Amino acid sequence: MTAASFDEIPVYLRLRGMLAIEIIEGKYDEGDQLPSVRAFAAQTGTNPLTVAKAYQTLQDDGHVLVKRGVGMFVAPGAVQALKVQERDIFLNKIWPRMRNLIDRLDIDIADLMDREPA
């Protein structure tokens, strides 16, 4: 995994990931309203159409609900469902690439696990 590989991830998926983490970490609880597309676009410095695509992926997966004329809300059960989905993404897509990088750089996993999180 290099900086270039992060850049290969489409912006809308990076935004979707940001929102997923915020929901998992409790910034938005189940039933809470998410920022409007325009507000989140301004907050992240991204195009509103890109934000709308990120929101659409969360809606398609059932993690957010749309109330017409009101906004988007975190769906019941979204926290647990997102944890399962994000865990799967980490274990099947991110971890194998990280593990290869760890091996390539001769990093001792025990030393890595002893490090304090940033």
The string of pLDDT tens digits covering residues 1-60 is 444 455 678 999 999 999 999 999 999 999 999 999 999 999 999 999 999 999 999 999
pLDDT digits (tens, 9 = 90+) for 64-111: 999 999 999 999 999 999 999 999 989 998 899 999 999 999 999 888
Global pTM reads: 0.81
63: CATH: 1.10.10.10
34, 71 contact by CB (below 8 A): yes
Taken in order 85, 86, 89, 95, the sign of the CA dihedral is negative
- Write the CA distances from 39 to 34, 48, 71, 102, integer angstroms: 10, 9, 12, 38
96, two tokens: 């194998």
Give me the number of domains the chain comprises: 1
| Residue in the structure block whose two tokens are 């906004």 | 71
Q: Cα separations (Å) of 16 from 49, 58, 86, 98, 106?
A: 13, 7, 11, 21, 32
| Containing structural domain, residue 19 | 3-114
Tokens of 7: 């850049």
